[in-house]
Structure 1
Amino acid sequence: MEQAILNLQHLTKSFDGKKILDDLSIDIGRNEFVTLLGPSGCGKTTTLRIIGGFATPDEGKVIFEGKDITNLSPDKRHINTVFQKYSLFSHMSVGENIAFGLKLKKKSKSYIQDKIRYALKLVDLEGFEDRHPMSLSGGQQQRIAIARAIVNEPEVLLLDEPLGALDLKLRQDMQQELIKIKNELGITFIFVTHDQEEALTMSDRIIVMNQGLIQQVGTPVDIYNEPQNAFVADFIGESNIIDGVMPKDCLVEILGCPFPCVDTGFAPNENVDVVIRPEDMEFLEKGKGMMDGVVTSILFKGVHYEMKVQANGYEWLAHSTIAYHPGTEIGLYVKPENIQIMHKPVSAAQEVIKKNE
């Protein structure tokens, strides 16, 4: 992480007696793309609102470039926000929307025109200044909202689920667009989403949250490959999460079968959570794996097949580029380095999310 531009120190916030943020502390680096990721109600949007000045914490401080801005109004911060609902003024042209903040700051007409042209070029909408927002597509409106934010030259840009209303293809295009804009501007982006793929695709660092607490902070690769608890493993991508026992270092017993692993530092016979990603399940001939199973279902996912395999009383999720049809008897194998061992949850916030919630 580069030098921190923003320090959130011990933030606590409650609404109607319910604690939304619980002693939350984060350091965010200059020029970073940081994503706050978690389920609805985890506190990520509240955190963003506190950073932007739209909410005040019950306890804690927001430090920006070494100065306490906790009680500073939004217009006094070098921070701008792009919301999911773009909040464009329908009675104004695109150019007037982009110029709105600059006019409030009483900038000259020539300065404003230069900024409008620059911002529209940056978001690939040159020549749109006289159009009206309601005549534009959702993706174009999104880019106008970003243009309106960046002309004010913020040092931090906050994005509150800005892609949530877009269809899949447009959403993917905008993900690449945002990365390009961030790199060209060289400013800090703080992005809120509950979409795991979006977070993995765009972020320098991901902050996984649940019930007002930070569960893990790390790069997308770290978060995906080395989840710190069952909640993170379950929330980031698909996983087989199974109860296990560690008889000794580098050996875990799963469903009565011994599996070599690479993890150490657990107490003898400690109960643990075991995470195995579907893509790490390998299919062998029956009798040649760590356990035998029967394929119960198969779905074609484009780049791979998704299969369910019943083995030792557990229904495993497995991915393969080779189709194994229901009824096929196979052996299952997992390389030691692909087995993640974690301590059992110590709080409700670390529990696996129920899939039907």
Structure 2
Amino acid sequence: MNNELIHLNHISKSFGDKVVLDDLDLVIHENEFVTLLGPSGCGKTTTLRILAGFESPDKGSVIFEGKDITNLPPNKRQLNTVFQNYALFTHMNVAENIAFGLNIKKKSKSYIEDKIHYALKLVGLEGFEKRSVSNLSGGQQQRIAIARAIVNEPRVLLLDEPLGALDLKLRQDMQYELIRMKNELKITFIYVTHDQQEALTMSDTIVVMNQGYIQQMGSPESIYNEPENAFVADFIGDSNLFPAVFVRDELIRIDGVEFACVDKGFGTNKPVDIVIRPEDVELVAPEKGTISGTVTDLIFKGVHYEMCIDVNGREWVAHSTKPHIVGEKVGIHVDPFNIQVMNKPESEDEEAAGANE
């Protein structure tokens, strides 16, 4: 892993009676693409604003390269922010928008022109210098906002849901553009979104947040394949999330039916939560399944079919390239490696704190 660049050291923040961040502790490394992911109100944008210097924490400190910058104003930090609404100046053309920060720093005219040319080339908008920003598309405005940030040569680029206003196809295109830019610029990206697919596509590290706590932090693969609690399992991707009983090591019971698993150490006959991804639900002949049920819904999703199966009143969801018609009886088989066992929270506070408890 690269060198530690940022440490959000036990940050707490409240607005009135509402606790937005509760003892958040987060380390970010150099040249990492980190995504803060979670539902509205989880604290991800407040975290970004504290890092940028637009908010002050009630407790804790912001450490940058080993130095405390908690009380440093935004313009003195080696970070630049790209907002969801882009915050472009409509009375200025593209070049003037990009040069705004450089002019404040009193950079030379030739330096500024070189930087504008470089930034526009990087975001794929060469020749747009004289255009009015109000005549640009949403995607073009977003690129100009990024260009304006990167000409200041920040060590860290903060992006607060910058693709939120774009249509799906453009969002997907810009995701790949951001990955390319990050690799070319060799700087740290910290990205805020509530879009799980966006996080899975772009990130080196995903930080899943809820109610002011970090629920889980890790690579996209580990977050998706090994969620640590029910919130993460439900928030990241489609899932079959069921209560179960951990009978003993490598054996669980779902609705009275025993399934082999590979997990150990959860105790004996202990209530747990389990997650099985829909693509890991294998539909077989009724007599060959561990359990069987009836198909109640069939939806074509383009690359696969999504089917809902009623099993004694509990709904299972399966993804497969082979459709099974509504009303058909099917068996369900799940490979032991594809059953993820998680501790069941014993209180609401423990559920909110998730993996931090």
Flag whether TM exceeds 0.5 (same fold).
yes
Whichever residue aligns with residue 275 of structure 1, its letter is: V
Q: Does the residue aligned with 1:341 lie in a helix, a strand or coil?
A: strand
1:339-350 alignment, distance < 5 Å:
339-348=339-348
Whichever residue aligns with residue 112 of structure 1, its letter is: I
Structure 1 residues 349, 44: closer, same or farther in 2, change over 3 A?
Answer: farther
Divergent runs of 4+, >2 A: 346-352
1:133-282 alignment, distance < 5 Å:
133-282=133-282
Q: Give 1:98 deviation, angstroms.
A: 0.2
Structure 1 residues 119, 347: closer, same or farther in 2, change over 3 A?
Answer: farther
Matched residue, 2:121: 121
What's the RMSD between the two structures over aligned residues? 1.0
Output the CA distance in 2 between the equivalents of 1:346 and 1:218: 24
Output the CA distance in 2 between the equivalents of 1:168 and 1:271: 40
Output the CA distance in 2 between the equivalents of 1:19 and 1:115: 42
Matched residue, 2:355: none
Matched residue, 2:69: 69
Q: Please, which runs of 5 or more residues in structure 2 have no aligned partner?
A: 353-357
Is 2:100 aligned against 1:95?
A: no
Output the CA distance in 1 between the equivalents of 2:293 and 2:129: 62
Structure 1 residues 224, 349: closer, same or farther in 2, change over 3 A?
Answer: farther
Q: Give 1:161 deviation, angstroms.
A: 0.2
Matched residue, 1:355: none
8 Å Cα contact 1:230-1:342 kept in structure 2 = yes
Whichever residue aligns with residue 33 of structure 2, its letter is: F
Q: Give 1:204 deviation, angstroms.
A: 0.1
Matched residue, 1:37: 37
Output the CA distance in 1 between the equivalents of 2:223 and 2:330: 31
Q: Does the residue aligned with 1:287 lie in a helix, a strand or coil?
A: helix
Matched residue, 1:10: 10
Q: Give 1:17 deviation, angstroms.
A: 1.3
Q: Give 1:287 deviation, angstroms.
A: 1.2
Q: Does the residue aligned with 2:308 lie in a helix, a strand or coil?
A: strand
Name the % identity.
Answer: 67
Q: Please, which runs of 5 or more residues in structure 1 have no aligned partner?
A: 353-357
Structure 1 residues 33, 346: closer, same or farther in 2, change over 3 A?
Answer: farther
TM-score (norm 1): 0.97
Output the CA distance in 2 between the equivalents of 1:198 and 1:285: 37
Output the CA distance in 2 between the equivalents of 1:49 and 1:211: 17
Structure 1 residues 330, 254: closer, same or farther in 2, change over 3 A?
Answer: same
Q: Give 1:62 deviation, angstroms.
A: 0.2
Q: Does the residue aligned with 2:199 lie in a helix, a strand or coil?
A: helix
Structure 1 residues 350, 277: closer, same or farther in 2, change over 3 A?
Answer: farther
8 Å Cα contact 1:156-1:188 kept in structure 2 = yes
8 Å Cα contact 1:229-1:350 kept in structure 2 = no
8 Å Cα contact 1:215-1:350 kept in structure 2 = no
